[in-house]
Amino acid sequence: MLDRIRASLSALPPAEQRVAELVLADPRAFATLPVAELAVRSRVSKPTVVRFCRSVGYDGLADFKRKLAGTVNEGVPFVHRAVDEDDKAADIVVKVIDNAVSSMLKYRNAAGDHAFERAIAALAEAGRAGRRIEFYGVGNSGIVAMDAQHKFFRLGVHAVACNDAHVQVMSATMLGPGDCAVIFSNSGRSADLIDAAEIARGQGASLVVVTSSGSPLARLALAGGANCTLVAVDHPEDHERYSPMVSRLLHLVVVDILTTGVALRLGTRLRPVLQHIKRNLQARRYVKG
């Protein structure tokens, strides 16, 4: 909601811009103050405050303030950042989906194509040369690593997912130049994954790190030289307070981007294989039609 107001700021009349600036400066206060106080603080009339709310797509001030309060609240810790304790099923559907869509659109606008270009190139080179591609993650990120392996092995490359810390250390130790390790971490603070990343880098393998920018794992990737690539995934979830939901979806989207990019790089020779896999899977269906 605040992103939408910020994006529409330049298109609003000057008086309504002042109301918008008040919202952006202190959204929690705006959601609780009476219209007279909002008008005074914005240096506009009370009808202008209402017109602003309608200009940005809401039914009026009451509707705007209700939805603004839902946007800036703290959510329910360890459950979801966008919901309230007393939400009905209909509210949960709207809030969870809106939160996911908003985060994906925000990531789409912020994602750096240069990082994806480098990551796709490293993975495609390893796949083309028949080298090993390994995906590491622990906990929830281990599930993302498994999804990546499930998608990549169908490209005809040597893809493995490891979500056990001891296996990751052993596996990273056996990597070498030309191999590629992809590490997924929401927080970027897992000691096990940092150890695996350092070992893989020390073995001369290419390293692709999918994590939040500014984290220890991200800093390791940025300091790792030409063979290391950081694919930064930033999101509004606090990994100390909420179970990973949006972050998991964003990491899965990154997997889809990397898979699609590598499939295109591997060329047309791959497509008959994928078609053959699809044909064999169709033959395994028990219910026809």
Q: Are residues 50 and 131 in the same domain?
A: no
Q: Domain span at residue 49?
A: 1-72
Q: Which residues of 235-245 are buried (b: 16+ CB within 10 A; e: fewer)?
A: bebebeebebb
Using DSSP, state whether 254 is helix, strand or coil. helix
89 in any annotated domain = no
> What's the CATH number where 132 sits?
3.40.50.10490
151 in any annotated domain = yes
108-159 pLDDT tens trace:
888 878 999 999 999 999 999 999 999 999 999 999 999 999 999 989 899 9
Q: Are residues 41 and 162 in the same domain?
A: no
Q: Are residues 116 and 235 in the same domain?
A: yes
> What's the CATH number where 15 sits?
1.10.10.10
User: Which pLDDT score is estimated for 272?
Assistant: 77
Sequence-ordered alpha helix ranges (H) in 130-175:
140-152, 165-173
* Total domains present in the chain: 2
95 in any annotated domain = no
User: Which pLDDT score is estimated for 288?
Assistant: 64
Six token digits for residue 40: 């005074």
169 in any annotated domain = yes
User: Which pLDDT score is estimated for 289?
Assistant: 58
pTM here is 0.73
Six token digits for residue 13: 């009349």
User: Which pLDDT score is estimated for 160?
Assistant: 96
Which parts of the chain sit beneath pLDDT 70? Answer: 70, 72-78, 81, 239-242, 286-289
157 in any annotated domain = yes
Last-in-domain residue among 20, 51, 72: 72
User: Which pLDDT score is estimated for 78?
Assistant: 64
